[in-house]
Amino acid sequence: MEQLLVVGLGNHGWAYRNTRHNVGFMVLDELCRRWSCPLREGRGEYARAMRVRGTTEVTLIAPTTFMNNSGVAVREVAEELVLGPEQILVVADDFALPLGTLRLRKSGSDGGHNGLASIIYHLGDNGFPRLRCGIGIMEQFAGEDPATFVLSPFAPDEEKAVAAMIGRAADAIETLIHSGIDRTMTQYNRTT
C-alpha cells in the first residue's frame, strides 16, 4: 500500500483559527469532514488522523507548534512512517497568490514562508510537494506588515472565495491521491 503524509500548516489556538495563515488547517478540516476522521492528539506536537483512500494510506497532521516550528512534527511523523520527501504533501498559505488561486509544485524553495522553511530545515530536503493556497496579494494592502497581514482574518466579502478555495484544495488532494501529481497540477494550477 502506498503512503502519503498530508501536512496542513497553521498556528494552533483559538485566536488564530480563522486567520489567513491557517488555510492549511482549514483544508485539513475539510478533508476530515469528508472522510469522517477527526484529528486527534498525536504522540508529538501535532494532531493526527488516518484514512485509507483507494490504495493509499493517508496520514493527516496539523502541527500544534507555532508555524515557525512546523518542521519538528513533520520530521517526527516522516521518520515514524519511514517516508521520503516525495511522500509528504504540505498545504500552506501564500500571500504572493491572488485569493482563491492554487499552486501545486513537486518541490521548491520556502518562498519566504516560515512554515515551509522549518520543514525544509528539519527534513534537510526541499523535495516535497506543496499545495500553496492564495490568501490575497499582500501588495494590495498597502503598507501592511506581512506578519500582520497573514495573521489577520479574512474579510466578510472574501469568505465565499475562501470557502470555494478550501473545497478546491481538498478536491486537488483527492485527485492527487487517485491520479498522481502531474495530472493534479495540470487540472488545478490555474486561477479560479
Measuring CA to CA, which residue among 94, 100, 165 is closest to residue 130?
Answer: 94
Residue 14 C-alpha cell reads as 483559538
pLDDT at residue 142 tops 70: no
**H/E stretch holding 25:** helix 23-35
37 HSE (CA, 13 A, CB side): 16
Confidence bin at 141 (pLDDT 50/70/90)? low
pLDDT at residue 153 tops 70: yes
Average pLDDT, the chain: 94
Give CA–CA dist 129/36, Å, rounded: 25
- Domains annotated for the chain, with CATH where assigned, are 2-188 (3.40.50.1470)
pLDDT at residue 138 tops 70: no
Confidence bin at 42 (pLDDT 50/70/90)? confident
pLDDT digits over 79-90, tens only?
999 999 999 999
Please list, in sequence order, all residues whose beta carbon lies within 8 angstroms of the beta carbon of residue 57, skipping any fewer than 6 positions away.
1, 2, 3, 4, 50, 51
Q: Which residue has the higher pLDDT, 136 or 7?
A: 7
Chain center to CA of 192 = 18
Give CA–CA dist 11/23, Å, rounded: 10
pLDDT digits over 92-109, tens only?
999 999 999 999 999 999
Phi-psi map region of 140: left, alpha, beta (phi>0 left; psi -120 to 50 alpha): alpha
Given 12, 21, 113, 178, which residue is catalytic?
A: 21
pLDDT digits over 166-187, tens only?
999 999 999 999 999 999 999 9
Question: Where are the extended beta strands (E) located within 40-183?
Answer: 40-41, 46-53, 56-63, 88-94, 102-105, 130-134
21 included as an active-site residue: yes
